[in-house]
Structure 1
Amino acid sequence: MAAGGNPIFNGKNFRGALQAPPPPNAQNQYGQTHQIQQELSAAQLQQMYSQPSAGPAQTGRMTFDDVIIKTLLCLGAVLVGAAITWFSSFGVAALLMVVGALGGFVLAMVNTFKKEPVPALILSYAGLEGLFLGGLTKVLEARLPGIGLQAVIATLAVFAVTLLLFTSGKVRATPKMMRFFLIAMLGYAAFSLVNLFLMIFGVVQDPWGLRGSVHIFGIPLGVFVGLLAVVLAAFSLIMDFTNIEAGVHNGAPARYSWTAAFGLTVTLVWLYVELLRLIAILRGND
Structure 2
Amino acid sequence: MVFGRKNKKVVPFRTAGELDAMAAAGAVVGRALVAVRAAAAPGVSTLELDRVAEQVIRDAGAVPSFKGYHGFPGSICSSVNDRVVHGIPSADEVLAEGDLVSIDCGAILEGWHGDSAWTFGVGALSEADALLSEATRLSMEAGIKAMLPGNRLTDVSHAIELGTRAVEREHGLSYGIVDGYGGHAIGREMHMDPFLANEGAPGKGPRLVVGSVLAIEPMLTLGTTETQVLDDDWTVVTLDGSRAAHWEHTVAVTEEGPRILTLRSE
TM-score range, shorter chain: 0.3 to 0.5
Which is richer in strand? 2
- TM norm structure 2: 0.35
More helix by share: 1
Larger radius of gyration: 1
Q: Which has the higher contact order (CA 8 A, sep 6+)?
A: 1
